[in-house]
Structure 1
């Protein structure tokens, strides 16, 4: 397996008459941030529960760090940190006391990890302040701190930025990026905030009604979502020259049939068409093409409200 932290093959989970996961083939490369997108009830939570051992698959194969039999998976799961359905905090304890309680529960030797983790998640100066008095952002950081106890190689986070104010969202995003880039922690992040996930993830998986519809890199996603102006004129060479000299753009492509894709000035199509006609070109076809990120996901999933 080597390059992969997680791989599933034909993974299915049935609850009585409901097929919650339907032959999911998903793979997460070591060092990546995998964004997991789906509607409410699409199967994200069920998938996470199966991966973390909170539920058993009905069929299919699961590999964690190359391990696939049950005894090996038990050991492999010790290399995972999780936040599922919100962080489990003791409201009447401070941040340090919460971490200490979870350290003991996890059987992690020594207290050195407490100060290290508090510094890492930005809660070192909270002192004796009780968790019940923390802001939502502070609670999320503390939950992340608990997940980081034991130096996990793989983090599984369910809606880590849900309900945060804009500043809190930025703080968590930057912290997750730091954990990934500086500490090499691989992540699976379930979120309904598509634009934020796009800023964070390196890979995307789209699940709908228990089926994995698509998984792709963010670069591939950007290519699919890329917007451009489709142009057909009576003189392609002259149009290309006008685009470069008058519109000062080199981000265009001339297709074999002579039509042009212009990747700049997408939000100013009137300026483009006026410039072309002012130079004596006859426009035969002219239209903006492409989707924004939200539209792409909505169309791929089939519409409706995201989880």
Structure 2
């Protein structure tokens, strides 16, 4: 099959399209014909070696953890999926090896759920990693409740845009940081936009003088430090970007595959509770360009790589 891969750590230039062996389908796996794979910041961080301490590479590495596609063959221990089923998945394992930027992927059944019927393959590919991250932080870490006020950083990005919608669905008031060009977009998601950067704390205090009940940080650094000072008494702080959040009394979260959570997100998409904005798509052979654009960090919604049928 054709796949994007890299044989050493480095910039986007190490990515190349070529022929690789078809994946083997184990008893608990499902062979999926890839139709689309979303790009996430973790993809280029893996490519550059930042996650080497926790994820061993088995070169050549096929990047990509998000997928939407069609079941070609379920493993013998996977009765829940059949040939022709449309699925989405957060296909992460404990090594870097066989990712989703390929014509096919052998996905463990524990990483899959049924694709939302109402979304295109490109839109659906944007749900797994970003959606699971948002869902798990809001429900398991911050435990956001109706009537609370939550500050969501990078509210127009892949994770942030879903977090705004999910928090609003929970009945929370959502303040979201974004550049001014994305303020209308954040409003459309159900949030109240504020500009990030210098003066952020004063702008948030202007909207929430008593402080916010929870902060969802996906930026780290100065934004995290400012956030810690914006919490109301008993406020909660979580970060997916900066482990130093624990120094401020918060929790660091690394998303994990969960088929029940993923199916719930798929159902919410079909109900119209969450929408996925795809800012740009690239064909498989232009995956390096997709990585470069994602690495710039100014994307609204998701960047997606498509694979021809």
TM over 0.5: same fold?
no
Larger helix fraction of residues: 1
Normalising by structure 1, we get a TM-score of 0.24
Normalising by structure 2, we get a TM-score of 0.24
